[in-house]
Structure 1
């Protein structure tokens, strides 16, 4: 009998989320499939989203994998290219590429490319200060790209640092800086990431780039989005421990009363955060119970005292429909992105074809 840990990817929920975000944004939308579609399976998600305006990935190898799988939709490479060979691949495979620093710009200027062979997204640093050109350099970069004769079109873009903070004025400042720097320049605009689409109407321009919201993770239930990933296992053993007895590595959990403990076949090697504290919610047969004790590599333990109906073989949802992944991430002091991307060892099953 195989180990009961499993991951289900609901492609109907993915398509639903895509339609919700596309409708909310109003313009065109790139579905972000980087990091294997945030752990959901990039090729399967791309096939499921045949209606998408296009996809975005992090780097060239991810783009190559999708092209090799037969995905012919528009592809944007968010980190841009790292070499002349990748620049030629972008032309050959019809990728759009982000240009966000001087070395990429000079590579294009110095490389022999066909006339009008490149589609470029030019990135402004509007305040995040991670990558992108400053306002004056941004306008100069636009002129230099056009002067090469190698560029068919330029989309103007930036990236938000704090769009998920609705009480922060920083996103409004970034929008204003972008509009000022891009004033008078031709070409489509792209500002909104997931949080921008959900919370900042002023950011909804020609193109959106949606990642985490597409997968229904984080704090988006109010937008009608559905979780796409459901991570499950089973209770594989049950035991009783007496009041005052410790449980698990380091004895972090000490029973305050006679406690019924369920052993679950899932651990940090499967992607569950080791940093999750006692009390982190886990759903057993649809009922929430608390995590009890430190997460091990292959197993974790839960307090079943309040759920006498639980038995060996009871279904355990680590995150999904009953326990949002964002709740687990918040308890563990991290973000949903990390948990989704780390869920790699348990077998994945895509449903909703």
Structure 2
């Protein structure tokens, strides 16, 4: 084995979707977000598994992602594009039957002029100040937009991973003020919003990170395992250093395994001298700096010479590694490198 092996458990992915679908409730449609190449797991394979499990509505970030997903899934599912209708996108939107979530008056004008009568959704800004029409803009165009029949009107929560944050209730109030009483299908909740309770669910929920084993869905089954091959094991004498910058010095005679993975594979340098890999159930400390293609690991305590070590596994999930690296599970997942050999478990 010359490259690291990324194991992707599609059955766990589907189980996580079914569990979040159950939380959403029987009258609510549960979609799936597969942007960023399915959060690093491969959007086409993840999308097919979810489609076979019953998902009929998907969300991607950009039109190009929607084109690839449509090619993988065929004509049946609805594929919504969070980024909306950007300049030059009209041919791909029309040819691939994508549904842009229009985010501004400019995008509304572009879509209505370039693709009159074609499906669209609307994104409203309920307080996050990132994407979507602000209340005053929505008031100005609401009647025209509603008469054109959007397939969905949505907004996005800023603090859903903190259930007690007052921003959640403020945004809910703002979203309802903009949409109550209108004959529109509504969506407000991603993974965190689903867990906030039924008042956040509306007509459609759109889980993302929770499908792939990440927080805030703490009951999620792990979806990925990253198995890294050992290239070489060497003996290091007391006082000798390992890696760039002499940042780790052996305090006693040690055995150091060099494994084939590094920051070119999406492994953050922030876990240098702080991360852990696993030989089965046994933790092995990462020593020295993470370099472009290599990581060095202390295996002195192992009774054997390991052939592989796991960076992501049941003992260290994406959010555990993210905590060590000072980031979030989303970044760990979406940074998973394309040099990995991917192995899917159905």
On whether the aligned pair clears a TM of 0.5, the verdict is yes
Pair 1:28-2:29 in alignment: yes
- Change in CA separation of 1:152 and 1:90 when aligned onto 2, cut-off 3 Å: farther
Match of 1:238 among 219, 227, 233: 233
Match of 1:252 among 235, 244, 247: 247
User: Residues of 2 paired with 1:201 and 1:242: CA distance?
Assistant: 60
User: Residues of 2 paired with 1:264 and 1:69: CA distance?
Assistant: 34
Q: Which residue of 2 aligns with 1:101?
A: 104
Q: Which residue of 2 aligns with 1:57?
A: 60
Shift in Å, 1:329: 1.4
Higher mean C-alpha displacement, 292-301 vs 65-74: 65-74
Shift in Å, 1:92: 4.4
RMSD: 1.9
User: Residues of 2 paired with 1:5 and 1:246: CA distance?
Assistant: 25
Shift in Å, 1:112: 5.7
Match of 2:69 among 53, 56, 66: 66
Residue segments in structure 2 that go unaligned for 5+ positions in a row: none
User: Residues of 2 paired with 1:21 and 1:132: CA distance?
Assistant: 26
- Change in CA separation of 1:159 and 1:112 when aligned onto 2, cut-off 3 Å: closer
User: Residues of 2 paired with 1:88 and 1:153: CA distance?
Assistant: 20
User: Residues of 2 paired with 1:281 and 1:4: CA distance?
Assistant: 19
Match of 1:269 among 249, 257, 264: 264
Residue segments in structure 1 that go unaligned for 5+ positions in a row: none
Pair 1:80-2:79 in alignment: no
User: What's the TM-score, normalizing by structure 1?
Assistant: 0.90
- Change in CA separation of 1:253 and 1:200 when aligned onto 2, cut-off 3 Å: farther
Q: Which residue of 2 aligns with 1:192?
A: 189
Q: Which residue of 2 aligns with 1:43?
A: 44
Q: How many residues align?
A: 340
Shift in Å, 1:88: 5.1
Pair 1:283-2:278 in alignment: yes
- Change in CA separation of 1:204 and 1:42 when aligned onto 2, cut-off 3 Å: same
- Change in CA separation of 1:92 and 1:309 when aligned onto 2, cut-off 3 Å: same
Shift in Å, 1:220: 2.9
User: What's the TM-score, normalizing by structure 2?
Assistant: 0.92
